[in-house]
Amino acid sequence: MAAEGKTIDALGQFELTPVLGKLGASVGFTQSTAHMLLAVGAITALVMWGMARRAVVPGRLQSVAEASYEFIQGLCLNQIGDEGKKFFPFVFSLFMFVLFGNLIGLLPFAFTFTSHIVVTFALATIVFLLVTIVALSIHGTKFFGYFFPEGAPKALAPLIIPIELISYLSRPVSLSVRLFANMVAGHVMLKVFATFVVLMGSAGVLGFLGASLPLALNVVLIGFELLVAFLQAYVFAILTCIYLHDAVHLH
Amino acid sequence: MPDSDDFEERLRKARERQGAKPTSPGPGQLPQGGTWGIGFRAGVEVVSALIAGVGLGWLLDRWLGTWPWLFLLFFVFGGAAGVLNVYRLITPRRAGK
């Protein structure tokens, strides 16, 4: 894909193609879906397998499972408060799903399902709906006071309420766009520099020397992308926690 | 709650506290904490508020048949909400008024 026809095709990697032959094509089972199932399977395997032995001194897998559990538990308790325990399963699944999606996408030949805005927006919509429902069920109609800060002049209500409402509605958008943009930008950069390597490398000895530069850059970028993969999953989880905090402790 | 509104501020604080632990030694400020990170986050906030405002205005217009007036009005509201989002992003622990 990279150097066919000697052009840079940075976006081709995000194309969806049906897998599993005719059956997959008829139900729209794409490689994106396959990678989601793979991520879910990998998470389940990690947790089930890692915790199967329940050793006092944890092995490698158990350490990873325990570390991720404790990490998210700490996040929930710190950000939401005591009520955070209730939301732990949700935040944990969300975090692990995004994290595994980001990480699996970095493997060669793999697909990053978090680089599609539909996927991230669907996740953000789930968060948004949950937060709104939690806020409504805990606070009832007092929730709507959120859109009009106390003490503001009544005359400004027609101005403040729409703005606050849009600000609230923009949460799922910013949540999804942040993750999506980061993943797309990273993968496009990797692809562009990888294409440079191929294009320059095919241009003789001098090109070979030149190709080492984008290659070195790509090595650095992969490290950076690993960090971004983790960080974006973390940001997604912590923003979810912060929204949940706002929903639980309405000010 | 004095700081309930600026979640971004708490996000940064929490990231400072926790983000360093699982990644690498350096404080968890590597890509997002710099000026580029703040700029990117502010940009995302403005754009998403605009998208939300325009989307809401467009839907209302389609519902009420008042195209393009509510669309234009909510475009402005969206811009204002974007500014509000950025304001909340950068003000250090103070509720949005």
Q: Report the C-alpha gap between A170 and A30 in whole angstroms.
A: 29
State which H helix or E strand residue A231 sits in.
Answer: helix A204-248
Kindly report the nearest CA distance between residue A158 and chain B, in angstroms. 11
pLDDT at residue B34 tops 80 = no
Q: Where are the beta strands (DSSP E) in A149-229?
A: none
The count of other CB atoms within 10 Å of the CB of residue B7 is 21
Asked whether A183 and A232 are in contact (CB, 8 A), the reply is: yes
Tens-digit pLDDT profile for residues A15-48: 888 888 888 788 888 889 999 999 999 999 999 9
pLDDT at residue B28 tops 80 = no
Tens-digit pLDDT profile for residues A88-109: 999 999 999 999 999 999 998 8
Token digits of residue B75? 């475009």
Facing residue for A166 by CB, picked from B18, B77, B95? B77
Which residues are CB-neighbours of A147 under 8 A, at least 6 positions away?
A160, A161, A164, A165, A168
User: A170 and B45: CB-CB below 8 Å?
Assistant: yes
Mean pLDDT over B73-87 rounds to 92
Looking at chain B, which residue has its C-alpha nearest residue A228? B31
Tens-digit pLDDT profile for residues B43-68: 899 999 999 999 999 999 999 988 88
Asked whether B82 and A173 are in contact (CB, 8 A), the reply is: no
Token digits of residue A241? 């926690």
ipTM beyond cut 0.95: no
Mean pLDDT over A220-231 rounds to 92
User: A170 and B49: CB-CB below 8 Å?
Assistant: yes
By the CB < 8 Å criterion, does A185 face chain B? Answer: no
Tens-digit pLDDT profile for residues A125-184: 999 999 999 999 998 888 888 888 777 888 888 888 889 999 999 999 999 999 999 999
Asked whether A218 and A52 are in contact (CB, 8 A), the reply is: no
Extents of the domains making up chain A = 4-248
Q: Report the C-alpha gap between B94 and A40 in whole angstroms.
A: 40
User: What is chain A's mean pLDDT, rounded?
Assistant: 87
pLDDT at residue B22 tops 80 = no
Residue A5 or B7, more confident: B7
Which residues are CB-neighbours of B63 under 8 A, at least 6 positions away?
none
The predicted structure's pLDDT at residue B25: 29
